Amino acid sequence: MSVQLEPRPPRLTVGPAPRRRTPSHNLTRTSGIGLGLTMAWFSLLVLIPLAAVVATAAAGGPDGFWRAVTNEQTAAAIRITVLAALSVTLVNVVMGTMIAWVLVRDRFPGKALLEMVIDIPFALPTIVAGLVLLSLYGNDSPLGLQLANTGWSVYLAFLFVTLPFVVRMVQPVLEELDQEVEEAAASLGASRLTTFRRIVLPALAPAIAAGAALSFARAVGEYGSLVLLSGNLPFESEVTSVRILSAIENDNRATAAAIATLLLVISLLVIVVLDVVQRRVARRG
Amino acid sequence: MSIDITGVSKRYGDFVALEGIDLSLPRGQLTALLGPSGGGKTTLLRIIAGLETPDTGSVVIEGKDATRLPVQKRNVGFVFQHYAAFKHLSVARNVAFGLEIRTHGGLRPPWTPQKRAGRERIQAKVEELLALVHLSQFADRLPSQLSGGQRQRMALARALAIEPTVLLLDEPFGALDAKVRKELRDWLRRLHDEVHVTTVFVTHDQEEALEVADEIVVVNQGRIEQVGTPDELYDDPANDFVMGFLGETTTLGGVVLRPHDIEVDRGPGRAGAQEAVVVRVLRVGFEVRVSAETVAGEQVTVSMTRTHAKALQVEEGATLWLSPAVGAATVPSMPVRLRDGVGA
Amino acid sequence: MAERTRPAPGPTTYVLRVLVITYLVLLVIWPVSLVVTNTFANGDEALRSILEDPDLVDALRLTAVAAVVATAINTVFGVTVSLLLVRTVFPGKRILSALLDLPLSVSPIVVGLALVLVYGGRNGWFGPTLEGAGLQVIFSTPGIIMATAFVSLPLVIREVVPVLQELGDEQEQAARSLGASGRQTFWRITLPSIKWAVVYGVVLTMARSLGEFGAVKVVSGNVLGETRTATLAVEEKYLNFDQEGAYAIAFLLASVSVLAIVVVSLLRSREAHR
């Protein structure tokens, strides 16, 4: 991975010894064996199969790859997926931060219940998530909102499955945030909005970015919740995962692998963003 | 000798933690490793314990070469700075840990006589140790329910349970408040007189070292500055670092000495007396601290009793003649030396 | 931070509160409660008919087996990897720790495809060899277990690593200084200290494993009574216009997930009070 990190600050040569208590020892024999076994399993389960996807896509050559991802129906699916994932991520950045704020700073009866509600989309099987959404936004919607089998269903499903990410990243940071700093800003004459914008938001930004990256990655690869909800209408509600699946079912592995590689690149980018953000936060202390 | 250290060096990357340490500690002695933080004293203690391995040199414990021996085979009792209490085990189980590890009941089931005998032996020993550290009534509590001082005593009992060849304590009172610290200090001294195991403890507090230790090893910047009894160190410091670390110092006429070892007169008379003008007078309880500047431009701090200062009519702007007291401990001043951590 | 008295909530507080509650009601609370009411529209008949259908019982059993095995594997793997990441130094550690998060952001369909490309019986990289040795992975239980293990791989690690870091290694050093071997230190000191983190990880892994759909769909082949899991059965029932059946299975799966969340949050708050 070619992540260009900022140079570390130079270490002082005089002064207290660097306390390198953890990790305190190099690999012993037992941990060497442990590392070997776990790496073997990780390779067999994750790394080799993902490499196979990329290798299969590469075997078709750049032309094959290009043809696979620019196929009219596939390109439309990619466009729909990315557009919906981006919009939903944006909504999550705003709503997720708001939800985290309410959960941490507000107090009212039933808050504990909301706390649990946030985790439901993560724990619920995706196929059940689709079914759940159908019950309110399907054909006999009690709200009169029939979103099933329309382009909106994609947005709805993404919103549901990505709900926890920003909330759960921002919440602990907000809890740790020293309220005295905000009070200090207020004492210096800052309005509540200014305090939020100038003091709180910069502190939350890395967590929001990490949550947004995770929620984008999740949305781009989403499949299960859409199966029953979206109707998989080409050019309207068919997403990238569905295109990969139909290529697999037609035994067209090169095409499937090409589209899958595109998704993998997005996943990798997200991992890189997360790594960089987390390191920056760690350095800030 | 109980512990013999020869030519030990340790680096972390570019940082030299210890350089060519030679040290011999006799059996049954209570030794303090004293020095500023980052000076290498904790690293030395951890090397004796086997928690770190030296890059060069050897460690011999009770005549056996222990340099390559892992910590679990050295039979040392180590008391960690933050106690390292096993949070999930009761006080009694914490103390019993080392004994349980050592019980070789083999694979016999727990109800066999051998196993029961082992259990009873451990229980008796734990009770004895808890009585020794005055924690008998807390045997069934969790460490989180103890105060800092009690936790420290539990850690000590736990280390003593394995009947260690040497007992090592890393800043044993560092995390405690001043009052508890003083109590525990006296108590450790008495305990050592009772148990008489070779003991080494690390501290950055000179008062603690002077009060408790039989012998003090002053460690600074990876080197040993001086080894000696508290009196030797105080009366005959090897250099201005040791002198400065053990108490307040000032300079007068190119030598370093203690502020209370300066004779003060209102007129010239004594041989070698220097003329100085009082810049500031600070009264702290029974003591008066006088800052003065000599004609040579040296800043000198003098401490005297209130009565003495009154008698001499010491006030700002007054002229005094200052000279080292007879028999005062002095060392030549070396102004370029780093004095990090003095008085910490 | 809760000790201090705060200024009375202003209008912004109420607006935010109402907005957040409305959003969550529309997106999660109302739809989920509808699944419950739909399931019990005809009393417990729907649930009973599910549990009396032998094919569905098979599907539930397969789901349970795959989830238990995958969770067991991921627990052992996760605890080992966490210890290695936090307590030892080795080259490539940083890349490994980043890659371990990959399964969380890879599409389930891609996971399935990846496994098929390597372990597929006809033209996978290793598949034909393995089948020659009598081990069929894809379209069989091992494939379902692997897909399940893949998607839930990082969950134990994510729970255990921060706890290990926070814990430090002083207690372990103390145990070793008292004569404990590596194994004794692990079982008597390390494991009891990270016990709750492991439990959270296991519960989350289990919930995730029971509900995996996309990856399992690709590798299972959906053979009735053999490689059909509970989540696949939901889809099939719904597409066959057996809405009631679909809701009933969904209810079963959802109640397990919700139970998992409740267990985890109870454990967490208990832990916070300690």
Question: For residue C128, is pLDDT > 80?
Answer: yes
- H or E element in which residue B28 lies: none
Chain C partners of B84 at a C-beta cutoff of 8 Å? 170-171, 173-174
pLDDT, tens digit, for every residue of C26-58? Answer: 999 999 888 888 888 777 887 888 888 888 898
Q: Interface pTM (ipTM) of the complex?
A: 0.88
Q: Tell me if domain B1-238 and domain B249-330 are identical in fold.
A: no
pLDDT, tens digit, for every residue of B39-59? Answer: 899 999 999 999 899 999 999
Please tell me the CATH code under which domain A47-284 is placed.
1.10.3720.10
Q: Do B97 and C188 touch (CB under 8 A)?
A: yes
User: Tokens at residue B120, please?
Assistant: 């009873």
Q: Whole-prediction pTM value?
A: 0.81
CA distance B309 to A85: 82
Chain C partners of A195 at a C-beta cutoff of 8 Å? none
Domain ranges of chain B: 1-238, 249-330
Domain B249-330 fold is OB fold (Dihydrolipoamide Acetyltransferase, E2P) (2.40.50)
Please tell me the CATH code under which domain B1-238 is placed.
3.40.50.300
User: CA dist B259 to A33, B291, B329, B338, C103, Å?
Assistant: 63, 10, 11, 20, 69
A13 lies within 8 A of chain B by CB: yes
- Say whether B58 sits in a helix, a strand or coil: strand
Identify the closest residue of chain C to B101 by CA–CA distance. C180
User: Tokens at residue B22, please?
Assistant: 């030679």
User: Tokens at residue A87, please?
Assistant: 């919009």
**pLDDT range class, residue C124, cuts 50, 70, 90:** confident
Question: For residue B217, is pLDDT > 90?
Answer: yes
Averaged over C238-242, what is the pLDDT? 88
Question: For residue C2, is pLDDT > 60?
Answer: no
**pLDDT range class, residue C273, cuts 50, 70, 90:** low
pLDDT score, position A194? 82
**In 3D, which of B300, B310, B303 has the Cα closest to residue B288?**
B303
pLDDT, tens digit, for every residue of B127-183? Answer: 999 998 889 999 999 999 999 889 989 999 999 998 899 999 999 887 788 888 888
- Say whether C144 sits in a helix, a strand or coil: helix
Residues in a beta bridge with B278: B292
Chain B partners of A13 at a C-beta cutoff of 8 Å? 14-15
What is A158-217 written as a DSSP string?
A: HHHHHHHHHHHHHHHHHHHS-HHHHHHHHHTT--HHHHIIIIIHHHHHHHHHHHHHHHHH
pLDDT score, position B337? 46
Read off the amino acid at residue A232: N
Averaged over B178-198, what is the pLDDT? 86
Distance from CA of C274 to the nearest CA of A (A): 18
Chain B partners of A30 at a C-beta cutoff of 8 Å? none
Largest CA distance in chain A: 74
Question: For residue B338, is pLDDT > 50?
Answer: no
Higher pLDDT, C121 or C7: C121
Question: For residue B115, is pLDDT > 80?
Answer: no
- Say whether C91 sits in a helix, a strand or coil: coil
Cβ atoms of B36 and B245 within 8 Å: the answer is: yes
User: Tokens at residue B184, please?
Assistant: 């525990």
Domains of chain C: 44-272 (1.10.3720.10)
CA distance B232 to B256: 17
Cis amide bond preceding B143, omega within 30: no
Angle, CA of A276, A279 and A280, to the nearest 5°:
85
A37 lies within 8 A of chain C by CB: yes
Higher pLDDT, C232 or B113: C232
Averaged over C155-162, what is the pLDDT? 92
Chains in contact with A, where contact means 3 or more Cβ–Cβ distances below 8 Å, are: B, C
User: Tokens at residue B57, please?
Assistant: 């040199």
- A2 half-sphere exposure, CB direction, 13 A CA radius: 0
Chain A partners of C211 at a C-beta cutoff of 8 Å? 123-128
Averaged over B104-116, what is the pLDDT? 70
Phi, psi of A143 (to 5 degrees): -90, -10
CA distance A211 to A116: 18
Angle, CA of A200, A172 and A1, to the nearest 5°:
90
- A238 half-sphere exposure, CB direction, 13 A CA radius: 15
User: Tokens at residue A171, please?
Assistant: 């919440």
Question: For residue C226, is pLDDT > 80?
Answer: no
Between the two ends of chain A, the Cα-to-Cα distance in Å is 25
Q: Do C177 and B159 touch (CB under 8 A)?
A: yes
CA distance A211 to A199: 20
pLDDT score, position A22? 40
Question: Would you write out chain A's pLDDT as a tens digit for each of its 285 residues?
Answer: 333 222 333 333 333 333 444 444 556 788 889 999 999 999 999 999 999 999 999 998 899 899 988 999 999 999 999 999 999 999 999 999 999 999 998 888 888 888 889 988 888 899 999 988 998 998 878 888 888 888 899 999 999 999 999 999 999 899 888 777 787 777 777 777 888 888 888 889 889 998 999 899 999 999 999 988 988 888 999 999 999 999 998 888 899 999 999 999 988 888 788 778 877 776 665
Q: Do A17 and B340 touch (CB under 8 A)?
A: no
Q: Do A14 and B51 touch (CB under 8 A)?
A: no
Domain ranges of chain A: 47-284
pLDDT, tens digit, for every residue of B264-319? Answer: 888 887 877 889 999 999 988 888 999 999 988 889 999 999 888 888 888 888 89
Cβ atoms of A264 and A241 within 8 Å: the answer is: no
pLDDT score, position A18? 38
Identify the closest residue of chain A to C218 by CA–CA distance. A245
